[in-house]
Amino acid sequence: MNQSPSPTPASSGPNQQPFSSHFMSKYVQPAVSDRDFRNVEYRLHNRRSVALYRCSRDFATPSTPKPDFMLRLHLNKFPAQHEVNYGGGWLKRMPDSYVLAPPNVDSRVRGNLQNHFTSLILVFPETELRQVAGELLDAEGKHLWQPPSKELHDTSISTLMRQLWESSCSSAPAESVLIEGTFISLVGRLLLSGQQKRLAIPKYESSASLITSKALNYMQDRLSEKLTLEEIAKAAGVSRSYLIRVFAQATGKSVHARLIELRIERAKQLLIQYGRNMTLDQVALACGFWDGTHLTRSFFEHVGITPQQFRENS
């Protein structure tokens, strides 16, 4: 069996270690001893009590109840040959379909259990859902606790899940903001999944410019730091979900995208001002990038040339 190394338990914050220990014991350890699993990779996010894992299996088995929400995305390009029931109905894993299983439900399986299938799974506790959704959870999110009666298709859910997976493997400073923003957006889509009609898009708030200005000033003053979305929202005096909405309304961009632009702009200033008196690693650290390689990759994506070429042309 090809087993990827188990993740290092998260250690930041008083509530992180218990979830990490719980996840390791309830999710990782059973898979380690399960010979039907192949190529299992786990990723924990240090700043949030969320975890992802991607696994391939050749044999479907029922699962015991877990105390967390489990969002499963079927990655195969063909339907699975078995069906799963989380208490609400029999579900056949169709390509790019997802299922949200609430806490403390078990699953049953039927059909051809010996078939290959691959899943991307997000696990998170109820506390994370409540922290993000706030009062909306009681008003609009009651359906999230219902056993799934059908599998769903939503390109946004699929895209956000894949984006979470890709960004969770990076330790770059800006990725933490991206992960938090993506998770908040994902919770928003899950809340909408139970609506007969989409929730009305709020009108442009009159305070959006002031909130956005505070967020931008906070980021501008701390470009060398490992900023989180929570810190930026707190500086702007609003919640993370509210900041994401008004920031996009005011700028047409996400907080993460604008943060990267600010870091690139600062890098340009340093390259022009100090030339070869600063190494690319020094410029990178001063602008919040992980190292010179990370700076070069992001710089090229946004500017079209490398920092070295920019410095030579300046």
Task: Provide the residue ranges of all domains of the chain, joining segments of one domain with +.
Answer: 16-152, 208-252, 258-313
pLDDT of 40:
77
Of 8-22, 60-74, 161-175, 268-282, the poorest mean pLDDT is in 8-22
Grade residue 3 by pLDDT with cuts at 50, 70 and 90.
very low
% of the chain residues with pLDDT over 70: 79
The pLDDT mean for the chain works out to 81
* The pLDDT value given to residue 6: 37
pLDDT of 79: 85
Least confident of 104-118, 133-147, 198-212, 268-282: 198-212
Give the pLDDT score at 222.
Answer: 93
User: Mean per-residue pLDDT for 112-133?
Assistant: 88
Cβ-based neighbours of 300, under 8 Å, separated by 6 or more: 306
Lowest mean pLDDT among 38-42, 63-67, 69-73: 38-42
Residue with tokens 């509530």: 15
pLDDT given for residue 279 in this prediction? 94
pLDDT value for 238? 87
Classify domain 16-152 at the CATH topology level. Answer: Jelly Rolls (2.60.120)
- Multiple choice CATH, 258-313, 3.40.50.720, 1.10.390.10, 1.10.10.60, 2.60.40.420: 1.10.10.60
pLDDT for 172: 60
Taking only the tens place, the pLDDT of each residue in 269-314 is 999 999 889 999 999 999 999 899 999 999 998 999 999 999 999 8
Fold entry, domain 208-252? Arc Repressor Mutant, subunit A (1.10.10)
Q: Which of 134-138, 180-184, 289-293 is predicted least confidently? A: 134-138
Domains 208-252 and 258-313 share a fold: yes
Give 219's pLDDT tier (boundaries 50, 70, 90): very high
Residue 155 predicted with pLDDT over 70: yes
- pTM check: above 0.95: no
